Amino acid sequence: MASFTWLEIRLGCIKTNLQRVREKTGGRKILVPVKANAYGHGLVRVARLLAEEGVDYLGIARWEEGAEIRENGIKVPLLLLNGFLPGEEENILSYKITPSLTSEEQIRWLERLGKKSNKKIPLHIYVDTGMGRGGIREERIFRVLEEVISSPSLFVEGIYTHFPSADEDEEFTWDQIRRFKGIKRKVEEKGINIPLWHMANSAGILNFPESYMDMVRPGIMIYGYYPSSRVRKSIKIEPSLSWKASVIGVEKTEAGKGISYGLTYFTSRNCKIVILGVGYGDGYPRALSNRGKVMFKGKKYPVVGRVCMDEMMVEMDEGVEVKIGDSVTVLGEEIRVEEMAELLKTIPHEIVSQISRRVRRIYYE
Ligand SMILES: *Cc1c(COP(=O)(O)O)cnc(C)c1O
């Protein structure tokens, strides 16, 4: 049955990208973030695929994402990459999610629960080496580590940090790598063994092989998009998504006709105004009004007038054969995610994670 709009997702591309990251990172452990509905690609299906492919960890941002993964019978280790609120630790533990320690207060909350449940709670300590988004301050790490290690109810499975600018600021990133590795050396000199040290996101993987350590955390590149135009394309990746919309109307139009809210566009010739069943309610950026492009039968056509909540218009030449029910590509293939992000002064992550749940995901091998 036809729909107004849908996403076609090629799981084979995700597998290929994972394989290429594996080759490049030389068999290090891999954590793939599946936060925000697996960057829009569909949480449960993607989590299942990655678990089947043997990734070591999935990264989530909310315990609810972990609950959905567990409720679908997926047993892969899960790392909560963000902080959590007091009271959430019970759910985190009951869904077998490994929390990150992002503030010192959390030690008490976790200890209380550990004592109550008589369990040793594994966690990863998140150190701020320059991201400036919470975390344990670098100068506090040894104190915190000692406190956590001496607690009978806590177990430090990993220590990690994050790059704010591995695509843009080489010097800053080098400095972060040096400082984080310095922390590791000092910890080891004290005779403390932490199994998993990790820091590399996609930009780190592409630009800084020195940042790989025990585990890498590729997000956007696993889905097939470079994090920005400033990274080295040191790994070839395959975009996994095509976003399609149906033609829901075709109007033969003469010059001078105003199009859509605000009448921001007037036709200047005989043409066809083609109405598509996709809009900002589906996550198509309204900022692409009069700026976006779509692909139909191998040619690009402009989005004209304002993008509406559920529809948008494109202009085609009067001779183009187009009818209701035809499908048009609004993102993916020649409409590159990276180019759309650049045009909107944002990053591919935002473009794909905003494709709303209303858009049906269809999976292909
Ligand atoms: C989301 C996230 C990543 C992945 O970043 P990409 O740019 O998508 O590769 C890695 N590490 C942490 C802590 C994250 O939150």
Q: How far is the CA of 191 from the centre of ligand 1 (A)?
A: 30
- Common-topology check for domains 11-223 and 241-335: no
- With a 6 Å cutoff on the Cβ, whether 227 touches ligand 1 is yes
CATH number among 2.40.37.10, 2.40.50.180, 3.40.50.620, 2.60.40.420, domain 241-335: 2.40.37.10
Is 202 near ligand 1, meaning CB less than 6 Å away?
Answer: yes
Report CA(220)–ligand 1 centroid distance (Å). Answer: 8
**Contact yes or no for 226/239 (Cβ under 8 A):** no
Q: Is the CB of 204 under 6 A from ligand 1?
A: no
Q: Residues 332, 284: contact at Cβ < 8 Å?
A: no
Domain layout of the chain by residue ranges? 11-223, 241-335
Which residues neighbour 7 within 8 Å (Cβ) at sequence distance 6 or greater? 40, 41, 42, 241, 242, 243, 244, 355, 359, 360, 361, 362
Nearest to 13 by CA among 302, 238, 325: 238
Residue ranges of the alpha helices (H) in 151-256?
170-189, 202-207, 220-223
* Distance, first Cα to last Cα, the chain: 20
Q: How far apart are CA 311 and CA 260, in angstroms?
A: 10
Token pair listed for 326:
């035809």
Task: Tell which one of 55, 81, 208, 351 to mutate to probe ligand 1, the residue whose CB is within 8 A of the most ligand atoms.
Answer: 81
DSSP state of 99: P
H or E segment and range at residue 47: helix 43-52
Output the CA angle 317-323-325, nearest 5 degrees.
135
Amino acid at 146: E
pLDDT by residue (tens digit) across 88-142?
Answer: 999 999 999 999 999 999 999 999 999 999 889 999 999 999 999 999 999 999 9
The CATH H-level (homologous superfamily) assignment of domain 11-223 is: Alanine racemase (3.20.20.10)
- Token couple for 83: 């902080």
Q: Look at residue 245 and give its three-state secondary structure.
A: strand
pLDDT tens series, the chain, 365 aa: 789 999 999 999 999 999 999 999 998 999 999 999 999 999 999 999 999 999 999 999 999 999 999 999 999 999 999 999 999 999 999 999 999 999 999 999 999 999 999 889 999 999 999 999 999 999 999 999 999 999 999 999 999 999 999 999 999 999 999 999 999 999 999 999 999 999 999 999 999 999 999 999 999 999 999 999 999 999 999 999 999 999 999 999 999 999 999 999 999 999 999 999 999 999 999 999 999 999 999 999 999 999 999 999 999 999 999 999 999 999 999 999 999 999 999 999 999 999 999 999 999 99
CA–CA distance from 166 to each of 95, 171, 206 (Å)?
33, 9, 9
* Pair of tokens at residue 160: 């990690």
Pocket of ligand 1 contains residue 33 by CB under 6 Å = yes
HSE-up (13 A, CA, CB side) for residue 33: 21
Cβ–ligand 1 contact at 31 (below 6 Å): no
Q: Provide the pLDDT for residue 2.
A: 84
pLDDT in tens, 60-70: 999 999 999 99
How far apart are alpha carbons 295 and 330 in whole angstroms? 6
Residue 35 is a catalytic residue: yes
The answer to whether 303 touches 293, Cβ cutoff 8 Å, is: yes
Give the pLDDT confidence of 88-99 residue by residue, as tens digits.
999 999 999 999
Q: How far does the centroid of ligand 1 lie from the alpha carbon of residue 211, in Å?
A: 14
Q: What global pTM score does this model have?
A: 0.97
Q: Are 236 and 7 in contact (CB under 8 A)?
A: no
